[in-house]
Chains A and B, each alone.
Chain A
Amino acid sequence: MTFIPGLGIAKGMALTLRRFFAPKATIQYPEVRPDMAVRFRGRLQLLYDEFGTLKCETCFQCAQACPVECIDMGGHDTKNRFYTHWGPAETYGERREESALRRSGRPVPDQAYVHFQPIDLVAVEEILEARDYDPGKMLPILEEVQAAYGYLPIAAIKHISHVTGAPYALVYGTATYYSHLSFERRARTVAVCRCTSCLLAGSGRIANAIGEGLWTKLAREPVGGVALEQLAAHIPGAASPLVTLDGKPQRDVTETSAAAWSRALAKKTVA
């Protein structure tokens, strides 16, 4: 082996010069998007909340959605027995409620747990009969069940899954995906008009304030029986910004009072 002084330096300099002309690794992010699969979600991992509780509620929606079936769930139950493939989240209602309470820092009535109570399944059976027990007609079945009961009882969903053969996670996922399907009885409906004149008068901010007061957002699943919706059309003659409660215009709801008003409404309805 021969030692030539400066050879290492020359090699290094040559390397950096080649790198100088090599194609660059940078992706100009906002202008150029990396070419990735549509459903790419990055590396899979389970997240913990700030109290150290696993955020996963074993709802199995991810396992259901995974195209290559690489996701499965397992763990120790309260008696320290290991299971793979835990049951649906609703069978662990207590645990889930506790977790939700901790994470939100506010009292959350776990409606899914409440409505897990057994119900009279005659109406569900009639609807399923009419729909031929076809899991492909899941959405109409769920809509009709909601029409019959006023909400989607969890027991009904379990029954539908059991009878049609559709996995529970699929039915549950369908029910949670559509905002017009709800797990709880809708007691009252607050609607905010979002026509141009109302928006200019501040109805967007009012909608946000009401959403905060009701622990929800516009057109999301209602919490505590009060739904927040967008008014289909401005009521002729009503002043802007227009907020209605069960279809009746509320004149005293302004930008400043919206938050307090909605909080009072939520408290009244839950009680």
Chain B
Amino acid sequence: MRALPATFREQARAVRAYAVESRAFALESWAGASPIDRLALVLVPLALFLFVGAVVSAVVMLGPTLDFLGANQPLVRFVVVVLGILLLTVPTAFLLIYMELKVIARMNLRVGPNRVGPWGAAMSVVHGLKVLAKEDFAPTGVDVPVFTLAPVVTFLASVMTLLVIPFAPGIFGQDFNIGLLFFFAMGGLSVLGLLMGGWASFNKYSLLGGLRSAAQIVSYEIPLTISVVGVILLAGTMSLNHIAQAQSGSALDWFVFKQPLAVLIFFIAATAEANRTPFDLTEADSEIVAGFSTEYSGMRFGFFYFAEYVNVFIISALITTLFFGGWTAPFNWPWPYNLNWLDASGIGAAWIVIVGFALLVAADVLGLAIWLFRGRQWSAPSAFGLGFVIAGAGVTILIILACIIALDWVQGIFWFMVKTYIFVFVFVWMRGTLPRVRVDQLMGFAWKWLLPASLLNLFVTAAAVIILNLPSAR
């Protein structure tokens, strides 16, 4: 911003001072107070009272509460996991919508949203608020309970699949031994939501759209599921956690190199499953009425939309987990450098070096810099004192950061998110590039190409497992 001339600033200051002064006069009586003042006069004491009450009751109730939570650990875990997964979908969907706007804009040689928030990052939040603020409208003749439940079913079907996805060692909702089966079972439920929405809308176009999307998703579910069986054969388990662990080591251990055809089939089928371009016939937004969601508006439509983006994330996460090593590092971690000496649990020589030596050096360098560049305003003791304080704070923050990074699950989440968002980017990239296929091409491709290819993949994998006598066959 351009600096204002001093006189402008003085004027502004005078105006502000005047405003403060007149406010002080206004607050002397209730009658003279502005509505905001009156509100504050009521709310501030109330908030203070509630805060003090909360603190007191927390102190009193802390022991019994902890006892109760300790006695009901499975329940607590359930609540925490469900809350965490539901809450995770919100920033995920916002991030994906923002990514889509921004990435496709860049591919169109545009800039994309750049006004709301830094680099337009709050754009999807504003979109969400807009959808929330719209009228919750149900057309005449609609079967209201089913009409309302349909987006909920679709959304929950997506969210439930998040339960079994391992984000990092120890960071997952539930480690089922039928994890993958659960995933596809829950993912398949989203068809039910689409059908419900199409049927309940009391509109033949919605019904046809719903049936068509059901046909598409059910057709693609078959090659999708069969292509994954190869991975199950290799890993010898359906638990996603163990599948991720089976690929630990380096990038060469990933199943993508053992199952290249399966990755291709899975990726294509997953694109259709998530209703993404070039298979987004479910709501071909530029061609036909919006398919099953024709009659939807407001937040009911918002949930379909929401579920679509959560689906993209989930599908990317599943590809990562099944074929790209999940949360494991792509190279033999801790290469290229060992972070174990920073482990918070053991105080080793590294700590003494950092705290004792590095701190002194940093303090001296900083103090010298302050003393040199600050001129005579700073005496030597105060300059070095300040240098010591800054260096101490910096080193402390660095140590804490290093300890956090050294944690297993932080690294796990890092690698998992990096890989997942690479696939999210690929999905968005495809949407920015590929044209939509025709509906007969869509179905023909699934039945004539993907299904035989996935069966072939399954056959070859099974034969290899037996012939090579891989560990999972024993």
A and B co-occur in one complex:
yes
Taking Cβ atoms with an 8 Å cutoff, the residues of A that contact B are 9, 12-13, 15-17, 19-20, 22, 24-26, 28
**B110 & A26 in contact (Cβ 8 Å cutoff):** yes
Known: A9-B434, A12-B434, A13-B433. A20 touches B110 (CB 8 A): no
Closest 7 CB pairs of A and B: A26-B111, A16-B433, A16-B107, A25-B109, A12-B433, A20-B106, A19-B107
User: Shortest CB–CB separation between residue B421 and chain A, in angstroms?
Assistant: 15
**Assembly CA distance A19 to B110 (angstroms):** 10
Q: Do A22 and B433 touch across chains, with their CB atoms under 8 A apart?
A: no
Q: Mark B430-451, 1 if CB is under 8 A from A, else 0.
A: 1011100000000000000000
CB distance from A59 to the nearest CB of B (A): 41
Can you list, as one digit per residue, whether each of B408-434 has a CB less than 8 Å from chain A (1) or not (0)? 000000000000000000000110111
B429 and A13: CB pair below 8 A?
yes
Residues of A with C-beta under 8 A to B114? 28
Q: Mark B88-113, 1 if CB is under 8 A from A, else 0.
A: 00000000000000010011111100
Interface residues of B (CB under 8 A from A): 103, 106-111, 114, 429-430, 432-434
User: B111 to chain A: which residues have CB within 8 Å?
Assistant: 24, 26, 28
Contact of B106 with A15 in the complex, beta carbons under 8 Å:
no
Q: Which residue from chain B places its CB closest to the CB of A18 in the assembled complex?
A: B107
Query: B430 — which chain A residues lie within 8 A by C-beta?
Result: 13
Interface of chain A: mostly helix, strand, loop or mixed: helix
Can you give 12 contacting A-B residue pairs, CB < 8 Å? A9-B434, A13-B433, A16-B107, A16-B432, A19-B106, A19-B107, A20-B106, A24-B109, A24-B110, A26-B110, A26-B111, A28-B111
- Closest-CB distance, A218 to chain B (whole angstroms): 27
- B429 in contact with A16 (CB, 8 Å): yes
Identify the closest chain B residue to A15 (Cβ).
B433
In the bound complex, how far is the Cα of B277 from the Cα of A13, in angstroms?
Answer: 13
- How far is B110's CA from A113's CA once the two chains are assembled, in angstroms? 53
**In the bound complex, what is the Cα–Cα distance between A28 and B429 (angstroms)?**
25
Is there an interface contact between B434 and A19, defined as CB atoms closer than 8 Å? no
Docked complex Cα distance between A22 and B114 (Å)? 18
Enumerate chain B residues within 8 angstroms of A17, measured Cβ to Cβ. Answer: 107, 429
Q: How far is the CA of A15 from the CA of B430 in the complex (A)?
A: 11
| Residue contact A20 to B434, C-beta cutoff 8 Å | no
Chain B residues within 8 Å of A25, by CB: 109-110
| Residue on B nearest A27 in the bound complex, by CB | B111
Residue numbers in A under 8 Å from B110 (CB-CB): 24-26
Q: How far is the CB of A99 from chain B (nearest CB, A)?
A: 43
Chain B residue with the shortest CB-CB distance to A23 = B109
Separation of A16 and B105 alpha carbons in the complex (Å): 11
Question: Which residues in A have their C-beta under 8 angstroms from that of B109?
Answer: 19, 22, 24-26
Bound together, the chains give a CA A19 to CA B433 distance in angstroms of 11
Q: Which chain B residues lie closer than 8 Å to A19 at the CB level?
A: 106-109
CA distance A26 to B432 in the complex (A): 18
A26 to B112, CA, bound (A): 9
A68 to chain B, nearest CB (A): 33
Residue of B nearest to A6 (CB): B264
Residues of A within 8 A of B106 (CB): 19-20, 24
A115–B338 Cα distance when bound, in Å, is: 96
Question: Besides A16-B429, A24-B110, A28-B114, 15 other CB < 8 A contacts?
Answer: A9-B433, A9-B434, A12-B434, A13-B429, A15-B433, A16-B107, A16-B432, A17-B429, A19-B106, A19-B108, A19-B109, A20-B107, A22-B109, A25-B109, A26-B110
Report how far A20 CA is from B430 CA in the complex, Å: 12
Instruction: For residue B442, give the distance in angstroms from its CB to the closest CB of chain A.
Output: 15
**Minimum distance in angstroms from B104 CB to a CB of chain A:** 9
In the complex, the chain A residue whose C-beta lies closest to that of B109 is: A25
B276 CB to closest chain A CB (Å) equals: 14
Could you tell me the distance between the alpha carbons of A97 and B88 in the complex, rounded to whole angstroms? 71
Instruction: For the complex, give the distance between the alpha carbons of A189 and B345 in Å.
Output: 91
Complex Cα distance, B114 from A202, in Å, reads 40
Complex Cα spacing A13 to B427, Å: 11
Query: Bound state CA distance, A19 and B103, in angstroms?
Result: 10
Residue of A nearest to B435 (CB): A12
Find chain B residues with CB under 8 A from A16 CB: 107, 429, 432-433
Report Cα–Cα, A19/B112, bound state, in Å: 14
A194–B107 alpha-carbon span in the complex (Å): 54
Instruction: Tell me, in angstroms, the Cα distance from A9 to B108 when the chains sit together.
Output: 17
A87 to B433, CA, bound (A): 58
Bound Cα distance A9, B433 (Å): 8
Residues of A within 8 A of B429 (CB): 13, 16-17, 20
Among residues of A, the one whose C-beta sits closest to the C-beta of B110 is A26
* Residues of B contacting A13 in the complex (Cβ-Cβ under 8 angstroms): 429-430, 433
For B103, what are the chain A residues with a Cβ–Cβ distance below 8 Å? 20
Chain A positions within 8 Å of B434 at CB level: 9, 12
Complexed CA–CA distance, A17 and B206 (Å): 36
**Central interface residue in A16, A17, A26, by most chain B CB within 10 Å:** A16
**Chain B residues with CB under 8 A of A15:** 433
Q: How far apart are B466's CB and chain A's nearest CB, in angstroms? A: 31
Chain B residue contacts of A12, Cβ below 8 A? 433-434
A4 CB to nearest chain B CB (Å): 15
Which residues of the partner chain B approach A24 to less than 8 Å between Cβ atoms?
A: 106, 109-111
Cα A16 to Cα B108 with chains together (Å): 8
A20 to B109, CA, bound (A): 7
Residues of A with C-beta under 8 A to B432: 16
- Shortest A9–chain B CB gap in Å is 7
Q: How far is the CB of A5 from chain B (nearest CB, A)?
A: 10
Q: Which residue of B lies closest to A9 (CB)?
A: B434
**Whole-angstrom distance between the alpha carbons of A17 and B106 in the complex?**
9
Q: How far apart are the CA atoms of A13 and B434 in the complex, in Å?
A: 8
